[in-house]
Structure 1
Amino acid sequence: MSDPMHDLDVTVWVGKNGIDAVSEELSEQLDDRDAVKVKFLRAARAEGDTEVLAGDLAEAANGTVLDTRGHTAVIQR
């Protein structure tokens, strides 16, 4: 079985502007693909840990969190 965390390239980066700045971009990417890999940069993590941020971002983009590892999450619709 393939590992989506390993197989996908990061296409969304969350930085100091937080999840609001990328939620629309993530939603658009989820329209075109099964899953999107998101990297939470240090500036974004000041707002909370990766699991919480990933959950909030997924909710904002009408998706669900498939997996989180380190500072990276895979979100699907």
Structure 2
Amino acid sequence: MVNQDLRKEAHDVEVTVWVGKSGHGAVLEELKTQLQDRKLVKVKFLRASRGGTSVEEMAEELAENAGAEVVDTRGNTAVFH
């Protein structure tokens, strides 16, 4: 289970990465860079990026590619650590 303290901290984190119709490949390097500088990064998946895929699936795939951990997903937003 993910650390509850991280989930609490994630509440106040602002979205700094947006995944659009180009998909998560377009933001992968940006996410990696931000994770080096910050403890938590919040990513919003815009409608155009989702197609028929759920936010949870997209977040897990992005986390795997970025070498990160998904802390939480809510609505169209995911938090990475």
Aligned residue pairs: how many? 76
2:61 corresponds to: 56
1:2-21 correspondence to structure 2 within 5 Å? 3-21=8-26
Give me the whole-angstrom Cα distance separating, in 2, the residues matched to 1:65 and 1:8: 14
Please give the secondary structure, in 2, of the residue aligned with 1:16: coil
Please report the RMSD computed on the Cα atoms of aligned residues, expressed in angstroms.
1.4
Unaligned runs of 5+ in 2: none
Partner letter of residue 15 of structure 2? V
Q: Compute the displacement of 1:4 (Å).
A: 3.1
Give me the whole-angstrom Cα distance separating, in 2, the residues matched to 1:70 and 1:51: 9
Give me the whole-angstrom Cα distance separating, in 2, the residues matched to 1:71 and 1:4: 18
Q: Give aligned-pair identity as a percent.
A: 55
CA contact (8 A) 1:36 1:74 kept: yes
1:68 corresponds to: 73
More strand by share: 1
Please give the secondary structure, in 2, of the residue aligned with 1:53: helix
Unaligned runs of 5+ in 1: none
Give me the whole-angstrom Cα distance separating, in 2, the residues matched to 1:39 and 1:11: 8
Residue 23 to residue 62, structure 1, CA distance change in 2 (3 Å): same
CA contact (8 A) 2:20 2:45 kept: yes
1:23 corresponds to: 28
Please give the secondary structure, in 1, of the residue aligned with 2:11: helix
Give me the whole-angstrom Cα distance separating, in 1, the residues matched to 2:30 and 2:70: 16
Please give the secondary structure, in 1, of the residue aligned with 2:53: coil
2:38 corresponds to: 33
